[in-house]
Amino acid sequence: MSWFARVHKPWLHFVVLGLVFYQLQSVLFPEPKVVIGPLSEARIATLEQQWRASTGRKPSPEQIARYVAVELDRDMLLQRAIDLEFHLHDAIVFQRLVRNMGFIQLAENKTDPELFHQAITMRMHLADEVVKRRLIQLMEQRLLVDAPPSKSSVEDIEAAFSQRRQALRHPPQYSIEHVFFAPEREQDVASVVTEIMEQRLSARAARQLGSPFLQGYQFVKQTPDQLARNFGDRFVMGLQKALQESQSRAESGDGQWLGPIRSVYGLHYVWLSRFEPARDAELKEVEQQLRVDLEYAAGKQALQCAIAALRLEFEVRGRTLQDADEAGRCE
């Protein structure tokens, strides 16, 4: 039998034409995309109220657009998580919905699986904010599993270290003890200082000659910012000035009395037991911090790119924020 005779069969023609039409149908008449948005006016008003509450200012149109874009992305992630039935297989969602059923007094004589099934039937998972946040979190994790961020190389860490060298610089550290003089005792400062010097009192013994100080008397390896939280900026500037003056006289930075130095509380006669000047960080000291920061940034970027790709599968309405810059970073 010839090849032409083999294929010249009406039933075979019917099958082939059916397959062709089926494929053309998916191309010419694709399934409509799921619509996300637009946000209701009430929901946008809530976003504006949240902005005012957190900043005390009226949001600009650009800020509202960014808020709306974030909310639409959250709605999209939630929809995809539900499409994948994450809500049916997560222990946290299960426990939350079962507990909610108990709160509304529908748990009598029912097992936990029965309560969970009833909660799903009531679409309670679509109204509970904790459940929605959990589903969005699971969807974000899924996106990162499907498109994981790149790992940081040695070159990446070295480049980040070079760029952030100034920010990573270790601030100076002061180890001090002090004698405090409240405002009503400031006239005693000169005599107390004289007694300390003549008797060569230790800082611990000398503090008995001053006033009580609630924040304490000994501060070890404190940065200027840490000292400012206990004494105020004026004290820190006074301490730095007193130390500079002593160093200009070729006096040692460690083991010396400085002051008296004024703070927001009164006067302080300060024993500087140790001073460690500011210095550049070494790569081995901050390598782990840089790695964590780079991996966090890479994960955030990978997630943004995955969300941008997911948007192509939905019809997102009400999103006015342009994503050209984001698309460029994801290429």
CATH number, position 262: 3.10.50.40
One domain for residues 177 and 260:
yes
Residues in contact with 182: Cβ distance below 8 Å, sequence separation at least 6, in sequence order: 211, 265, 266
One domain for residues 19 and 51:
no
Residues in contact with 304: Cβ distance below 8 Å, sequence separation at least 6, in sequence order: 326, 329, 330
Confidence bin at 6 (pLDDT 50/70/90): low
Tell me whether residue 80 is in a domain.
yes
One domain for residues 69 and 144:
yes
- Count, residues in the chain: 331
The residue segments making up the domain with residue 45 are 41-151+304-330
One domain for residues 189 and 128:
no
281 within 8 A of 254, measured Cβ to Cβ: no
Residues in contact with 157: Cβ distance below 8 Å, sequence separation at least 6, in sequence order: 283, 287, 290, 291, 294
Is the full-model pTM beyond 0.75?
no
CA atoms within 13 A on the CB side of 44: 16
User: What was the pLDDT predicted at 252?
Assistant: 60
One domain for residues 54 and 146:
yes
CA atoms within 13 A on the CB side of 187: 1
Using only C-alpha atoms, what is the Rg of the chain?
Answer: 34
| Separation of alpha carbons 242 and 79, rounded Å | 64
One domain for residues 47 and 27:
no
One domain for residues 199 and 260:
yes
One domain for residues 16 and 95:
no
Tell me whether residue 299 is in a domain.
no
One domain for residues 119 and 199:
no
| Separation of alpha carbons 184 and 212, rounded Å | 12
| Separation of alpha carbons 241 and 148, rounded Å | 52
90 within 8 A of 132, measured Cβ to Cβ: no
**Beta pairing partners, 178:** 270
47 within 8 A of 74, measured Cβ to Cβ: no
Give tens-digit pLDDT for 189-209: 999 999 999 999 999 999 999
| Separation of alpha carbons 21 and 26, rounded Å | 9
234 within 8 A of 188, measured Cβ to Cβ: no
User: What was the pLDDT predicted at 323?
Assistant: 54
Count of domains for the chain: 3
Give tens-digit pLDDT for 245-298: 888 776 666 789 999 999 999 999 999 999 999 999 999 999 999 999 999 999
User: What was the pLDDT predicted at 109?
Assistant: 82
One domain for residues 246 and 323:
no
One domain for residues 136 and 184:
no
Q: Is the peptide bond before 38 cis (omega within 30 degrees of 0)?
A: yes
Q: Which of 74, 51, 54, 80 is nearest to 64 (CA)?
A: 51
Tell me whether residue 165 is in a domain.
no
Tell me whether residue 322 is in a domain.
yes
One domain for residues 94 and 138:
yes
**Beta pairing partners, 276:** 173
Tell me whether residue 47 is in a domain.
yes
Give tens-digit pLDDT for 209-251: 999 999 999 999 999 999 999 999 999 999 999 998 888 776 6
Give tens-digit pLDDT for 75-85: 999 999 999 99
Residue 139 reports pLDDT greater than 50:
yes
Tell me whether residue 163 is in a domain.
no
Tell me whether residue 159 is in a domain.
no
Give tens-digit pLDDT for 31-64: 788 899 899 999 999 999 998 998 899 999 999 9
Tell me whether residue 194 is in a domain.
yes
Tokens 């019917």: give the residue. Answer: 14
Q: What is the DSSP string of 168-206?
A: TPBPPEEEEEEEEE-GGGGGGHHHHHHHHHHHT--HHHH
Regarding predicted confidence, which is higher, 134 or 107? 134
Q: Is the peptide bond before 260 cis (omega within 30 degrees of 0)?
A: yes
Which segment of 5-19, 104-118, 281-295 scores lowest on mean pLDDT?
Answer: 5-19
